[in-house]
Structure 1
Amino acid sequence: MSNGSSLPPHRRLRGTLLVVLAAVLAAGLGGWLIWHSSRGDCGPRAGQPAPSDPAGHATGPGGSHAPGSKDSTGHGARDSLKGKVVVLDPGHNPHNNEHGRQIARQVDIGNARKECDTTGTATNDGYAEASFTLDLARRARTLLQKEGAKVVLTQDGDRPYGPCVDERAEIGNKAHADAALSLHADGSGAGNRGFHVILPARVTAGPADTAAIVGPSRQLGERLAGRFRTVTGSAVSNYIGDGTGLDKRSDLGGLNLSTVPKVFIECGNMRDAKDAAQLTDARWRQKAAHGITEGITDFLSH
């Protein structure tokens, strides 16, 4: 058998080139296999759901509720609310029942005089509306701040009672809020279910003049109702709003005295067992905070 040294020079060169080419191809194939096997930790594979946070919101690529990501309409990007001021008004106060005389004081709401504040309602098991609203406000504040907003709370468990409804409105006015939201839960009869958003009516009396905020407040309310429903899966009220989830009122000082776009949200009925099961669930409250954040972001992005 002859060896390579007896081959002509051009055949020896061709053999060498074939060996080099084979080595290059083998190295490239090995590198591709290593890359392909490792990319499974970088994100969900096709057909698999994105990872979720404790509240059930998608946090991976394509997740519409992940902090700092965009939702299906392009809103919700980190810093999308930079430069915006949002006022959250947790309804009532856990200590109002200890200060009956103070909260019974009458204040001027423009077209009437009403109590400074009230104790709010509670579930049949004793979970207070004031505790619910404060927890929800803190959750929403965290999410809104992640989007770049400056968030002001009318109270953060740091007051002995109140504040009164006129002061709640004034806090939003002095902050020059781009949007203000008062958080509540209803105390209606059993069987009455669902959430609704309260819009300011046209009121021009005494210190109240809502003429400039009726329009933008309705836009805020519509965006909020839509997002809240989508994110929480809750139905709109079956007893207020004729199936729209929207209700207009002229008897609430927090709306009458506001000079910035403002609405109330009644997140459910604490006296209905099914609604109460949601309102007392921390995971659901986190969803509610996401819905509120998306609604406000949607409004402020248009």
Structure 2
Amino acid sequence: MRTNTALLGRTLRLAPLVAAAVLTLPACGATSGDGTPDPSAAPAPSSSGGAGAATADQRGSGADAEATSAEGPLAGTTVVIDPGHNGGNADAAGKISELVDAGHGHKACDTVGAESADGYTEHAFNWDVSERLRDSLEDEGAEVVLTREDDKGVGPCITERAEIGNEARADAAISIHADGGPSSGRGFHVIRPGELDGYTDDIAEPSHRLALDVRAEFEEGTGQQRADYIAEEGLDERTDLGGLNLSDVPKVFLEAGNMSNRADAADLADPEWRETAAESVAAGISRFLQRGQKD
């Protein structure tokens, strides 16, 4: 297990910003070196500088932010939400293509993300659901940290996305995505870290429990089917994603649907469906956290 960096100061609620619609190329449908679809949105470079580096202030900490609730079933817990990709990535190819250490080798700092046939971008979906998810979790008393402050920036790199969760000593972390798979494929899946010595050996098991809870609540709440083109029974185990490999806290990726599939894309573009999706993810995280509090 790697040593955690110093605990970040408590981050307050980020002000909602309008998601930017930018034409992008699919990234969650991109393949890794072994031909496996790669949904990872690269975390930002570390605080030493580099593409997409973000400070605590840039992530929304400020005097005018609303304080999170001190009451509720999740009071005393911290959740990090990582909205995959970013709205400015498409215009910053040089920056996001810089290689970073992903724990199993090197990968691009970040990627652009997928896009539906109607032009709805994954980064906009990720940001919208993450804001809604933040609100749901804060209503239950959790302290919530987002890895980016809006949908207009670049990155951060996969390394910094993981580092933010580690510095916050999050009780749970989740990266929100939508896939860019084959157009014939439908459904959602949850990605958990496989066991990687020196990296995820200490979080693999709790991350598995988090994945099961998120899968159960998301499936029940949204009615979305488990993916029929990837993963098994809506669960996938990966050791090639830097956002998971570099995490020292329980963490999963949610691929909420396939943007290349018209039926899935119609759901993803529906604000009411996104609200239900966010509430369902919140229920899964809450289930995981409250079980941990009883143990």
TM-score of the superposition, structure 2-length normalised?
0.74
Contact persistence 1:110–1:257 (CA under 8 A): yes
After superposition, what is the alpha-carbon deviation per residue over 1:207-261, rounded to whole angstroms, capped at 9, x for unaligned? x61000000000000000000000001111111223x110001111000000000
Whether contact under 8 Å (2:124, 2:151) holds in the other structure is no
Q: Tell me how far 1:156 sits from its aligned partner.
A: 2.2
Do structure 1's residue 178 and structure 2's residue 168 form an aligned pair?
no
Alignment partners' CA distance in 2, 1:162 and 1:122: 17
Does structure 1 residue 120 correspond to structure 2 residue 113? yes
Report the counterpart of residue 26 of structure 2 in structure 1: none
Alignment of 1:274-289 (within 5 A): 274-289=263-278
1:51-70 → structure 2 map (5 Å cutoff):
none
8 Å contact kept, 2:79–2:144? yes
The aligned counterpart of 2:4 is none
Displacement after TM superposition at 1:111 (Å): 1.2
- The residue that corresponds to 2:231 in the other structure is 241
Q: Is the 8 A contact 2:87 2:152 kept in 1?
A: no
**Aligned counterparts of 2:274 and 2:143: Cα–Cα separation in 1:** 21
- In the TM superposition, what is the alpha-carbon distance from 1:167 to its structure 2 partner? 0.4
Query: What is the match of residue 190 of structure 2?
Result: 197
Alignment-mate amino acid for residue 85 of structure 1: T
User: Is contact 2:163–2:246 with CA below 8 Å preserved after alignment?
Assistant: yes
Take 2:80 and 2:201, find their aligned partners in 1: how far apart are those partners? 20
**Contact 2:88/2:151 (<8 A) preserved:** no
Match of 2:199 in 1: 209
Q: Give the RMSD, CA atoms, in angstroms.
A: 1.0
Moved over 2 A (4+): none
User: Structure 1 residues 159 and 203 mapped into 2: Cα distance closer, same or farther (>3 Å)?
Assistant: farther
Amino acid aligned to 2:155:
G
Matched, 1:95 2:88: yes
- TM-superposed deviation, 1:158: 6.6
- Deviation string 1:162-220 (CA, Å, 9 cap, x unpaired) is 0000000000000000000000000011120000000101113xxx6100000000000
Q: Distance in 2 between matches of 1:159 and 1:105?
A: 19
Structure 2 unaligned spans of 5+: 1-70
Residue by residue over 1:272-291, the C-alpha shift from the partner in whole angstroms, topping out at 9 and shown as x without a partner, is 00000000000000000011
Secondary structure (helix, strand or coil) at the match of 2:255 reads strand
1:258 aligns with 2:247: yes
3-state SS in 2 of match to 1:198: strand
Q: Who is 1:290 aligned against?
A: 279
* Structure 1 match to 2:210: 220
> How many angstroms apart in 2 are the aligned matches of 1:132 and 1:104?
22
1:106-185 counterparts in 2 under 5 A? 106-157=99-150, 160-185=153-178
Higher relative contact order, structure no. (Cα contacts within 8 Å, ≥ 6 residues apart): 2
Q: In the alignment, residue 229 of structure 2 is paired with which amino acid?
A: Y
Q: 1:160 corresponds to which letter in structure 2?
A: G
* 3-state DSSP of counterpart to 2:265: helix
8 Å Cα contact 1:90/1:155 also seen in 2: yes
Deviation at 1:159, TM superposition (A): 6.2
Verify: 1:267 aligned to 2:256, yes or no: yes
Q: Which residue of 2 aligns with 1:84?
A: 77
Does the aligned pair in 2 maintain the 1:134–1:156 contact within 8 Å? no
How many matched pairs?
221
Q: Classify the secondary structure of the residue corresponding to 1:86.
A: strand
Q: Which has the larger radius of gyration?
A: 1
Aligned sequence identity (%) = 48
Q: Give the match for residue 11 of structure 2.
A: none
Whole-Å separation in 2 of the counterparts to 1:107 and 1:200: 18
The structure with the largest helix share of the pair is: 1
**Cα deviation code 1:115-135 (max 9, x no counterpart):** 000000100111110000000
Post-superposition CA distance 1:104-162 (Å, at most 9, x none): 00000121100000000100111110000000000000010000000000012176300
The 8 Å contact of residues 86 and 151 in structure 2, kept in 1 or not, is answered as no
Listed as ranges, the gaps of 5+ residues in structure 1 are: 1-77
